[in-house]
Amino acid sequence: MTSERTRTDLILSARGLNLSRDGVALLKSVSVDIRRGSVTLLLGYNGAGKTLLLSCLHGLIEQDSGQISAPPRDRQKMVFQKPIIMRRTARRHLQFVCPGLPDDQLADWMKRAGIDDRIDAPARALSGGEQQKLALVGALAARPDILFLDEPTAHLDFAATKFIEEMIHEAHDQGTTIVMTSHNRAQAERLGQDVLLLDAGTLVESGPANRFFSAPRHPLSKQYLEHL
């Protein structure tokens, strides 16, 4: 995330991203570099533009100006804070998001998520935590190069949060690059290797997580950490 990075170090690079809606600037000349194989935490207050930036980087929203270099969309996955769940059984949902996934692997992912007993239940009848697990294993089963996670453990209980963090660690160990948002400082410190801090659509600070949490450089970063 520094200027001396070589292109081979990076899996994603964005330059000068601008996005406005109804005359209001939501992203302002945002430039980011994401290291290949890293876990990057995107932090900021509510309304800072974190989800918009994730959506732009993933290609769900087209920025007004700026450039993004990233893996092809079929090598990316994104899991939202409120997961997108199909009107079908949990089994059929996984078959849809991971076409060609062998039945034994599908069953294994469901078992690891602890929801194998719900495999033929309507996916939308699952609890919030179960739906988030289903969405995450559906993304991970596709073995993406880069995974975007928008508050993946928001409003979840301890057991569901623990499972999702374990899956994030496992995916990272297997080489998946992860970019995620979080409002949980302890979680950000546990998982993060790099940090991007947004404030009102502007990138305030970026750098190694250990430096950011121990010695933030920008006054807004210090203020944010005092309230995180």
d(Cα 213, Cα 217) in Å, to the nearest integer? 10
What is the number of domains present in the chain? 1
Listed residue (171, 121, 176, 181) closest to 163, CA to CA: 171
Q: Is the pLDDT of residue 6 over 60?
A: no
1 within domain boundaries: no
Q: Express each pLDDT in 95-105 by its tens digit.
A: 999 999 999 99
Instruction: Say if 22 falls within a structural domain.
Output: yes
The enclosing domain of 175 has a CATH number of 3.40.50.300
Whether 199 is in a domain gets the answer: yes
161 within 8 A of 153, measured Cβ to Cβ: yes
Q: Alpha carbon 106 to chain centroid distance?
A: 22
- Residue 124 domain boundaries: 7-227
pLDDT value for 53? 97
Q: Record the tokens describing residue 106, joined without a space.
A: 């599908």
The reply to whether 2 falls in a domain is no
What's the predicted TM-score (pTM) here? 0.92
- Amino acid type, 65: S
Sheet holding 10-21, edge to edge: 24-35, 10-21, 65-69
89 in a structural domain: yes
Alpha-carbon span 177 to 122, nearest angstrom: 31
Spatial separation of the C-alpha atoms in residues 199 and 42, rounded to whole Å:
11
The answer to the question of residue 17 being in a domain is yes
For residue 149, is it within any domain? Answer: yes
Q: State mean pLDDT over 8-31.
A: 95
Tokens 């945002």, residue? Answer: 30
Per-residue pLDDT, averaged over 3-10, amounts to 61
Residue 114 lies in a domain: yes
Give the pLDDT confidence of 87-129 residue by residue, as tens digits. Answer: 999 999 999 999 999 999 999 999 999 999 999 999 999 999 8
Q: Region of 21 please: left (phi>0), alpha (psi -120 to 50) or beta.
A: beta
pLDDT at 30 over 90: yes
pLDDT in tens, 156-206: 889 889 999 999 999 999 999 999 999 999 999 999 999 999 999 999 999
